Amino acid sequence: MLPRSVYSPAMQMNARPALLQRIGRLLRAKEFLVFYAIGLGLLDFAAPPATGWLFAHRSLATLLGTNNSVIGDAVAGHAVTVIAVALTYLALSAFFTAGYLRSLLGRLHWGPRDARQFSRLLAFVTLSAALSWGLRAAASVASHHLGDTTDLVVVFALQTIVNVPLLYAGYAIVTSNVGLVRAIVASLRTFAANAFISLLVMFTLFEVLLLLWQFLPGDSGSAAALLPTVLIHVLVWGSVSFVADVVLLSVYIDSIERGTIPPK
C-alpha cells in the first residue's frame, strides 16, 4: 500500500471512478443481503413498540405515533420484563449486525467472528441506542416549547450532527478489528476525507426515514389494519439501508487502500 504522500493529484482524481466501480461490484455481488438488511430493519422497528407496550400497555397505533426508545422505556419502566426485552434487543442487534457486515465483506455469516467482536459491536449498538434516546428526549422538550411540528425537524438536525462520529464506526469494528474508541476515531477520519458522499448518504437516509414516519398512521386503527403500512415501511427502510451500507463500507475500504486512514 502506498503512503498517503505518494498519491498524486491525478491518482486522487481517479479515485472517485474507482470507488463507483467498487460500489457497483459490491451491490451486484451482495444484492441478496438486502433481505438481511430488511430483517435488521424489522428488529429495529419492532423493539420500541415492544418495550413501549410492556411499559405503558398502549395500542400499536398509539405506540407508532410516539417517540419512545428502547433504552428510555427500560430506564423509565424499572420493570424486569422491559429491561430484559431491551437487553435482548441490543444483544440481537449486535450479533446480527456483525454477521451482516461480515457477509458484505465475504461469505454469508450469521454472527460475529468471536466474543471480542461481539462485545465491541454491543458497545457500539448500545451507544447508538443511548444517543437515540437522548435525541428523542431533546426533541420532546423542544416540541413542548416550540410546538409539535418542530419535533421531527429537531431530531433530524441533531441526528445529522451527533451521528457523524458513528457513521463508519461499525464498519471499522468489523473490518479493522478495533475497539469502539479507535473505531470512532477512524470514523471521523473517514468522514473528513469523504465529507461530500458521507453527508449525501446521511441526508438521504434521514429524508427517507422522515418521509416513512410521516406516512405512518396516527393513534387510530387496529393492529391488523396497520400491518400493510408497517410492512412497506420496513421493506423500504431495509432496502435503502442496504444500499447505504454498501456505499459507506466501500468508502471505508477505499479510504484504507488509498492510505487516507490506517488499516488498524
What pLDDT, in 10s, does the model give residues 49-101? Answer: 899 888 887 777 777 767 678 998 888 877 899 999 999 999 999 999 999 99
Contact 199, 252 (CB under 8 A): no
pLDDT at position 132: 82
3-state secondary structure at position 87: helix
Flag whether pLDDT at 9 surpasses 50. Answer: no
Contact 245, 195 (CB under 8 A): no
Measured between alpha carbons, how far is 163 from 212 in angstroms, rounded to an integer? 20
Flag whether pLDDT at 4 surpasses 50. Answer: no
pLDDT in tens, 203-235: 888 888 878 877 765 555 566 777 888 899 999
Whole-structure pTM value: 0.87
Q: Between helices 70-77 and 115-146, what is the axis angle to 10°?
A: 80
Measured between alpha carbons, how far is 40 from 110 in angstroms, rounded to an integer? 12
Give the residue, 73 or 241, on which the prediction is more confident.
241
Flag whether pLDDT at 172 surpasses 70. Answer: yes
In degrees, rounded to 5, the angle at the alpha carbon of residue 67 between the alpha carbons of residues 137 and 188 is: 60
Q: Between the ranges 68-72, 130-134, 161-165, 173-177, where is the mean pLDDT highest?
A: 173-177
pLDDT at position 230: 86
State which H helix or E strand residue 219 sits in: none
pLDDT in tens, 142-155: 655 555 545 556 66
Measured between alpha carbons, how far is 189 from 261 in angstroms, rounded to an integer? 7
Contact 235, 38 (CB under 8 A): yes
Query: What's the DSSP call for residue 258?
Result: T
Other Cβ atoms closer than 10 A to 175: 21
